[in-house]
Structure 1
Amino acid sequence: MTVSVLGVRHHGPGSARSLRDELQRLKPDIVLIEGPPEADELVGLAKDPDMLPPVALLAHVPGDPSRAAFWPFAVFSPEWQAIRHAVQAGVPVRFCDLPAAHSLALRPGAPETADGQGEHGGEAGDGGSPDGATGEHDGRDGHEEREPGAGPEAVRADPIGALARAAGYDDPERWWEDAVEHRGDTPFQVIAEAMAAVREGHVPGEYEARREAFMRRTVRKAIKDGYERIAVVCGAWHVPALAGAAREGAWGAGLPTVKADDALLRGLPKVKTEITWVPWTYGRLAAWSGYGAGVTSPGWYHHLFASPDRPVERWLTAAAGALRDEDLPVSSAHVIEAVRLAESLAVLRGRPLAGLAEVTEAVRAVLCEGDDLPVELVRRRMVVGERLGQVPDATPMVPLQRHLREEQRRVRLKPEALDREYDLDLRKPLDLERSRLLHRLRLLGVGWGTPLQSKSKGTFRESWSLAWRPEFDIDLIEASAWGTTVPAAATARVRDLASGTVARRGAPAPGGPGGAGVPGAPGEVTLADLTGLVERCLLADLPEALPHVLDALSERAALDSDVTHLMAALPAMVRAQRYGDVRGTSATGLAVIVDALLTRVCVGLGGAVTGLDDDAARDLLRHIDGVHAAVALLDDGPAAPGAPGGSPSGARPPPAGRGHPAAPAGPPGRGASGEPAAPAEEETPQRRWLATLRVVSLRADLHGLIEGRLTRILLDAADLDTAEVGRRMSLAMSAGHPPARAAAWIEGFLSGGGLLLVHDPRLLGLIDGWLTGLAPETFVDVLPLLRRTFGAFAAPERRAIGSRVRSLGTGTAEPARKTEDVDDERAAAAVRTVLTILGRAESADG
């Protein structure tokens, strides 16, 4: 009976090649690998042709997926090569590390993700991470490490750093690469002796001691089961704790006794766990991601493992190809000179092979001619080398994960590690289904897709950026509590969000339509949250969830007395009502809620505009602009079937007794002399809103910013003529008002754009006369406000205004052009076309 303890560096290509050759020489009848024993039943999946690394073992606690751990494997990981050798040779494989049931129980509430964000963050020590095959500390970071929860005796120095310093290296990473990775022929016995020297006098912490005790227990069980040639693959640091006197033929000599190990493992806390394979990425394997046992250059290590002959030449040739793909001029002569430079640098530095530092300097100096920007491209594409692994369909999954895989195939969206942009045309059934799937996943907190600003102005297009991350599998496991399919789970979660019984834990709310957030904590559901949820239900096509959200919205709106909350909620509701039909989703009940919200906004706006400081005025102005834009959508939209009076928005008029005092009975002067008033025009949302703004704009206590903006809105809506606007502007800029208020009035008035001043010389003259009449000290005070106002205009607008002002100063203002007679017959065709575009072709002959 022989026990061969093979110490490796996790994710080391040289270690992987050496281990593969050593296993072929030893021909073991069982292979023990550092990792969670719960995964023993899943090892057989490694021989499935659909299993493509990088992959990872994922262990989690059912009902609490935040307590989870990953054990990633790349093709150049020694553990993966050991698994592949065993399954191809038909010999059993067992994992020998501390079970995940114990390691997760020992760290309650500290998820062990690939990013190392658990309570032991940073590089996981031998006692630091349940990452098993990858969380192992092989001492290459050159810093001291303390095990979580361990005493001072658990502090130890970096073993690789100590060996590197003894060899005269100031960089432990470079020493390990020169001694092991770039050679591939370092005997495992040499590694064992080096680690034994470094560990001399080391007192393991409690967690490290328990891990090594369980490894020894697993070896003893394999011996008891009758295996004769046992190969143990573990982190190099653990070799002295497992080998003992094995080289002398008596395994166990010098090691702790069975009784001592049993005492260490007795009474360990335990939780129920489930384990499976999940895809992994090289980006998550990189050390810069925060993953403790990661490597800085997984793409480079993959290349070293896959290209044992002439790796430098092949790497620089691939780098030249990547640069050529970006239309950068790189010739074969560049590659030849780059190879010579890399090899020369390796010789000067005494390295057995040019490493990543040498080939990167050759790329920068020769291929990129000293430019760092293309070097960064090579680093991103090749040094890290984003690639996403794949697991077979036979892998254990929760029903929600399996349903998502089916949906991804149905809509032909393949998960990829690199960001990929999709421009979806919602008029196409396939793109519509893709959009619905992505919106449903975002409701579940799975941020696979990130909405982008669409290049199209139409509502039938969406742009997305898709990139799959390994942690999304944890999100899916957590979301499986809501249902077994994506639509069912999204519907259930929306219902609970609407009732305020669940906190939001997902991805950021999408931008654009449907971009409002969802509740951040139980019981904190705001009106804006609910209106955003309505939009997201429509975007995700969840008709069963929408009634629950609308009921919650009605109740919340009835209790909310803050008019700014109502104003913030209205635009999202109007967008949902207006654009829901683009997706073919039903928005029944929205019109009634929109009408009620608008009525309450009209009633409460008068009280909301009083006593405002500058910041409050700007905040309210933003809400006013939002409501104004939303009301324009209502008024211009197609009439809803069955809408009373043919209202374009489908909103019913207010019932009797619920009138809004802000709206006058009719136009000014009508019915004022006691004569019978003319029949009132049919009320629409826009007329109701403009009537409210008209009355509010006449208040004497308005902030200048609000008064100026309301005047501009009424002018643009043709509710005021230029003569009335000129009168109001003259009053605002009169000597009775402070200059700062006049400047605020101008800022609000011009916030809709500067073209008005280009085409209306009278208004421009009023502003010019007021500004030139200011005292010097007053001019200095109002100048920042005016610069902010005019600085927001486009450059052509500013140039045109300057030209007009120059004409005013010289008295050569251009006379108004005489309006020519219009040929009605020639104009009819153009009018008909415009009305058709606006959706009013039926009135083109009126």
Structure 2
Amino acid sequence: MRLGIFSRPERQATAADERLVVIGVRHHSPACAHLVRRAVKRHRPAFVLIEGPADFNPHLGDLRLDHQLPLAIFSYHATRHRSFASYSPFCAYSPEWQALQAAWEAGATPLFCDLPAWHPDFGARANRYADPHGRHAAAAEAAVARALGEDGRDAVWDTLAEQAPPDELDHRLERYFDLLRPGGDEDPLENAREQFMARHAAWALREAGSRKVVLVCGGWHAEAIRRLARAADGARPDVPVPADDEHAGSYLVPYDYRRLDRFTGYASGMPSPAYYEQVHARGLEAAANWAENAIAQAMRAAGQVVSTADRVAWHAHGQALALTRGHRTVLRTDLLDAALATLVKDGLDQPAAWTREGAVRAGTHPALVAMLKALTGERRGRLAPGTRRPPLVIDIEERLEHAGLTPGHSARRIELDWRVPADREQAHILNALRVLGMPGLERLEGPSAPRPAAPQESFRLIRHRDAEGMLIEASRWGGTLPMAATALLADRAAEARSDLKALSACFADALFAGLLALENDLTAQLAHGIGLSHDMGAVGAAGRMAMGLYRFGEIFGAAAHRALGELCEAAFSRVLQAAEAIRNDEEGLRAIPAFVACRDMLRDGPDLAIERGAFLAMLGRCLANAQTAPAVAGAALGTLVACGESSGHDIAGHMRRFSRPDQLGDFLSGLFALAREEIAADNALIDAVRTLVDDWPDDAFLIALPALRQAFAFFPPRERERLSRVILRATGIGEAQAEIRALEWMRQPADVADQAAALALEAIVARRLADAGLV
């Protein structure tokens, strides 16, 4: 072990320094966990201060219950315009968890001494232990890696700390963290937190009399806290509280090893939690043996053969790597590098994931993914009975019980009819829970086909092991189910801004959860977005959604019905303003749903305040204008026919104006989408299409084929079959033969695109044969 790279001047110790034992750790390090427990046992302090949210101190008793680790303190802070949440996770080998247990065993008083996790000085960190390291720290870590001959921060840590003799560990850590942040230099981003922890230390020293105080914190903070504690006045710092219009809270939630693993994006922990659990419980050598078995099983489950010979070669290679690198025993990187060398036969497109920072990247070799997943493990936490719970969880349980919807261990299907008041109450609850994303709840069916009858919904409900934790985490949004779902939808809507698809989804969720009366801004926001949008496809989707629900009348309530009417009117007005300006063919195709929505409003919305006459006049102008996109012209004609404003006798004449191969399919798409039922039996139209197509050369037909196929796709299979019979009879085939051939057309195994490609190839071959004089 070469530690000559570490150096710093010795400081002059004071009496207070000798009584204050600050232990800098790496979060979730087994070596640090053992170090903390030994230190508390040796010093028998009066207080054990722990980097953690001080606002949780009144509830420390929650952590003494018989939980199954891992778990986390979930902290949230909500204002009218922002909701923030963060986690302080614990597992059996977390130094913070061992500090708590050791304090209780030694009769010391444990206290969290850091600012609340929601405090602004944490910034946007979703995990309180994610310390910001700057360029100097990164350069220092790289220098240590080079000096030790290791590849990556985790390999350095294992070499420096996890395999260190216990009597050397505290000295090594002190020098290592001093190298990252010499002398605890001032860190403006962390100054408020460190001042708060240092003031806690000074207060505890005054309260402890002649006894010692142990403070456990991230190594980044240790020397700064020592320095700041000397200047603190000894008064206990006040724990910040939210303002009157803000809400904050901290509760325990179940956690799992997947979320704890650095390779899944956790910013401040150790990788491979299941492996380090073994290190903590049984030591490095036993952990390596466990890891070999776990990786071999995972790779075999993934379909890779791992023979006994492979295991022998892998084991020997790992031992050789450890010996070459000067390790006391096989460490995690030795094990993984040996597995890579002996079990993975393919070359890698990128460096192995364990040699760099951050989560596993897309494209990582599947064998490496299987290895890392095996070392992550499947352990999931569970809260002990009697754990304090937020009001939201209690409110949801009471609502589910009252409505007869308490989830059981067997899945149940729940059929709901909105005409029945009790079903509507259940629908509100289930849809609000769906907004919150409760595990174990799935919406199987919702209102689909537009119709005036009441909507039908069906759900699948089952008790899910993650439901409790998720609902505790959802408490950041409010203390009751309606409040939480409303706040979450408001946040989604704010995030969506002018995205009509996202806003429409928010509106529909609020409608079915019975929340529109609580979220008055959502209708106005969506209507405003519709009025400004230049995307007719998005306007059409929003209009169809609104009209489809408006048809149900006041089944959602009078206020919701009015809101739906406002959205219909906004969409209708926007289409009226923008339709004539559409010239691009693709934009015209995207605009078809907007015409469908307006057609439905004209036919089925007599109470809507829409300009029927102006809209019909606009359709006429679109149809007469030769510059109109073909799909828009077809949709305009189809709307007039569907609304009874055109007899349809001259459809073939209008079609001839858009009869080029690159236009006809788009025109028919617009026409069929708007007036499919009205023109399905129009033999004259079918004859006109057939006549045009028959007159085209092969290359023109191939150009038109994809768009024609798309146009006729608007007809359901039964109607397409009937159209096939009409076309076949027009060629002179008898009724019986036309029916047989129509069925063959409908059931042909070859894809239409493949048939088109075959026709194109045949045309090329025929042309070349002709050019060569062979035909």
* TM-score interval, normalised by the smaller of the two chains: 0.5 to 0.7
Displacement after TM superposition at 1:88 (Å): 3.9
Q: Tell me, in whole angstroms, the C-alpha distance in 1 between the residues paired with 2:339 and 2:713.
A: 44
Q: How far apart, in 1, do the equivalents of 2:636 and 2:101 lie?
A: 73
Partners of 2:689 and 2:116 in 1: CA distance? 75
Counterpart of 1:111 in structure 2 is: 124
Tell me the residue number matched to 1:232.
Answer: 215
Structure 1 pair 35/194, CA: closer, same or farther in 2 (3 Å)? same
Q: Does 1:815 align with 2:734?
A: yes
Residues 342, 168 of structure 1: CA spacing in aligned structure 2 closer, same or farther, 3 A cutoff? same
Over 3 Å counting, the alpha-carbon distance change for 1:393 and 1:485 in structure 2 is farther
SS in 2 for 1:618: helix
Written as runs of structure 1 = structure 2, the 5 A alignment for 1:272-311 is: 272=242, 276-279=250-253, 280-287=255-262, 291-308=266-283, 310-311=286-287
Say whether residues 1:506 and 2:491 are aligned partners: yes
Match of 1:345? 318
TM-score after normalising by structure 1: 0.60
Tell whether the 8 Å contact from 1:10 to 1:136 is kept in structure 2 after alignment.
no
The one-letter code of the counterpart of 1:816 is E
Q: How does 1:446-461 map to 2 (within 5 A)?
A: 446-448=436-438, 454=444, 459-461=456-458
Kindly indicate whether the alpha-carbon contact (under 8 Å) linking 2:272 and 2:377 is maintained by their aligned counterparts in 1: yes
How many angstroms apart in 2 are the aligned matches of 1:268 and 1:557? 46
Q: Determine if contact 1:74/1:80 at 8 Å carries over to the other structure.
A: yes
Asked if the contact 2:205–2:212 (Cα under 8 Å) also holds between the matched residues in 1, the reply is no
Tell me the alpha carbon deviations over residues 559-608 of structure 1, each in whole angstroms, 9 at most, x when there is no partner.
99999899665533443356699xxx654577788789989999998887
CA drift at 1:537? 4.1
Which residue identity is paired with 1:111?
Answer: A
1:135 lines up with 2:130 in the alignment: yes
Query: Is the 2:319–2:330 Cα contact (8 Å) retained in structure 1?
Result: yes
1:118 matched residue in structure 2: none
> What per-residue deviation string (whole Å, max 9, x for no partner) do you get for residues 81-120 of structure 1?
11122224432113344x449x93557xx33322xxxxxx
- How high is the TM-score relative to the length of structure 2? 0.65
Question: Does the Cα contact within 8 Å between 2:201 and 2:229 map onto a contact in 1?
Answer: no
What's the offset of the Cα at 1:340?
A: 5.7
3-state SS in 2 of match to 1:305: helix
Instruction: Give, in angstroms, the shift of residue 177 of structure 1.
Output: 1.1
Q: CA deviation at 1:68?
A: 6.2
CA RMSD, aligned part only? Answer: 6.3
2-structure distance, mates of 1:64, 1:392: 35
Q: How far apart in 1 are the matches of 2:23 and 2:146?
A: 24
Alignment partner, residue 357 of structure 2: none
- Answering whether residue 477 of structure 2 is matched by residue 485 of structure 1, we say no
Conserved 8 A contact 2:531-2:571 = no
Match of 2:651 among 713, 728, 732: 728
1:312 pairs with one of 276, 285, 288? 288
Does the CA-based 8 Å contact 2:37-2:102 persist in structure 1?
Answer: yes
Give, in whole Å, the separation in 2 of the partners of 1:750 and 1:559: 27
**Is the Cα contact below 8 Å between 2:589 and 2:631 reproduced in 1?**
yes
- Distance (whole Å) between structure 1 residues aligned to residue 731 and residue 675 of structure 2: 25
The alpha carbon displacement at 1:38 in A equals 3.9
Q: Is the 8 A contact 1:40 1:95 kept in 2?
A: yes
Change (3 A) 1:623 1:63: closer
For residues 508-565 of structure 1, give each alpha carbon's deviation from its aligned partner in whole angstroms, at most 9, with x where no partner exists: xxxxxxxxx68966xx999x9998676434411358659x799979999999999989
* Counterpart in the other structure of 2:31: 14
Determine helix, strand or coil for the equivalent of 1:177. Answer: helix
Question: Which of 611, 625, 643 in structure 1 is aligned with 2:596?
Answer: 625
> Which piece of structure 1 moves more, 698-707 or 362-371?
362-371
Secondary structure, aligned partner of 1:111 = coil
> Superposition pairs for residues 765-784 of structure 1, below 5 Å?
766-767=688-689, 769-771=691-693, 773=695
Cα deviation for residue 345 of structure 1 reads 2.2
- Percent sequence identity is 19
Whole-Å Cα distance in 2 between the matches of residues 184 and 752 of structure 1? 79
Q: Does 1:181 align with 2:166?
A: no
Offset of 1:624 from its aligned partner?
Answer: 1.9
Letter in 2 for 1:145: G
Q: Does 1:706 align with 2:691?
A: no
Once residues 147 and 659 of structure 2 are traced to their aligned partners in structure 1, the CA distance between those partners, rounded to angstroms, is 82
Q: CA deviation at 1:34?
A: 2.9
Partner Cα separation in structure 2 for residue 604 and residue 441 of structure 1: 34
Instruction: State how far apart, in whole Å, the 2-side matches of 1:760 and 1:391 are.
Output: 71
Q: Measured at CA, do residues 30 and 755 of structure 1 come closer, stay the same or move farther in structure 2, by a change above 3 Å?
A: same
Q: Please give the alpha-carbon distance, in whole angstroms, between the structure 1 residues aligned to 2:98 and 2:157.
A: 20
- Please tell me whether the aligned partners of residues 575 and 630 of structure 1 are also in contact (alpha carbons under 8 angstroms): no
For 1:72 and 1:555, how far apart are their aligned partners in 2?
43
Instruction: List aligned pairs for 1:189-588, cutoff 5 A.
Output: 189-192=170-173, 194-195=175-176, 198=179, 202=183, 204-207=185-188, 215=197, 217-224=199-206, 225-226=208-209, 228-239=211-222, 258=230, 260-261=231-232, 272=242, 276-279=250-253, 280-287=255-262, 291-308=266-283, 310-319=286-295, 334=307, 337-338=310-311, 341-342=314-315, 344-350=317-323, 351-357=327-333, 359-360=335-336, 372-373=365-366, 376=369, 379-380=372-373, 382-383=375-376, 385=378, 387=380, 390=383, 394-395=387-388, 397=390, 399-400=391-392, 402-404=394-396, 411-412=405-406, 425-426=415-416, 436-437=428-429, 439-440=431-432, 446-448=436-438, 454=444, 459-462=456-459, 476-477=475-476, 479-480=477-478, 484-487=479-482, 505-507=490-492, 535-542=508-515, 545=518, 570-577=543-550, 586-588=556-558
Give the Cα separation in 1 of the matches to 2:470 and 2:509. 23
Structure 2 residue 57 is matched with structure 1 residue 40 = yes
TM-superposed deviation, 1:48: 1.2
Call closer, same or farther: CA 1:487–1:58 in 2, change over 3 Å: closer
Structure 1 gap ranges (5+): 115-130, 138-143, 147-154, 244-254, 416-420, 495-503, 508-516, 635-650, 664-691, 821-846
Q: Against the structure 1 CA distance between its residues 700 and 407, is the aligned structure 2 distance closer, same or farther, given a 3 Å change threshold?
A: same
Deviation per residue, 1:14-63 (Å, 9 max, x gap) = 32234334544554443232334444333332111247433036374877
Work out the CA distance in 2 between the residues paired with 1:449 and 1:758.
46
Q: Distance in 1 between matches of 2:249 and 2:564?
A: 49
Q: Is the 8 A contact 2:19 2:205 kept in 1?
A: no
Task: Name the one with the larger helix percent.
Answer: 2
Alignment pair present for 1:145 and 2:134: yes
Show CA shifts across 1:338-387 (max 9, x none). 47614532432434444444555677788898794465356457527574
Are the equivalent residues in 1 in contact too, given 2:73–2:87 (CA < 8 A)? yes
Question: Is contact 1:4–1:230 with CA below 8 Å preserved after alignment?
Answer: yes
Aligned partners of 2:552, 2:608: CA distance in 1, in Å?
24
Work out the CA distance in 1 between the residues paired with 2:146 and 2:525. Answer: 67
2:624 alignment partner, SS class: coil
In the TM superposition, what is the alpha-carbon distance from 1:79 to its structure 2 partner?
Answer: 1.0
2:47 counterpart (30, 37, 54): 30
Distance between the aligned counterparts of 1:569 and 1:739, measured in 2? 32
Q: What is aligned with 1:833?
A: none
Q: Which residue of 2 aligns with 1:613?
A: 583
Q: Which residue of 2 aligns with 1:790?
A: 709
1:383 partner amino acid: T
Q: Deviations over 1:469-493 (max 9, x none)?
A: 989867633x33xxx42235657x6
Instruction: Supply the AA of the counterpart residue of 1:222.
Output: A
How far is the alpha carbon of 1:334 from its aligned partner? 4.4
Any idea what SS the aligned residue of 1:165 has?
A: helix
Aligned pairs, how many? 675
Q: For residues 199 and 575 of structure 1, what CA distance do their matches in structure 2 show?
A: 62
Stretches of structure 2 lacking an aligned partner (at least 5 in a row): 1-17, 347-363, 449-455, 740-775
1:425, distance to aligned residue in structure 2 (A): 4.6
Query: Retained in 2: the 8 A contact 1:401–1:476?
Result: yes
State the alpha-carbon separation in 2 of the partners of residues 61 and 771 from structure 1. 64
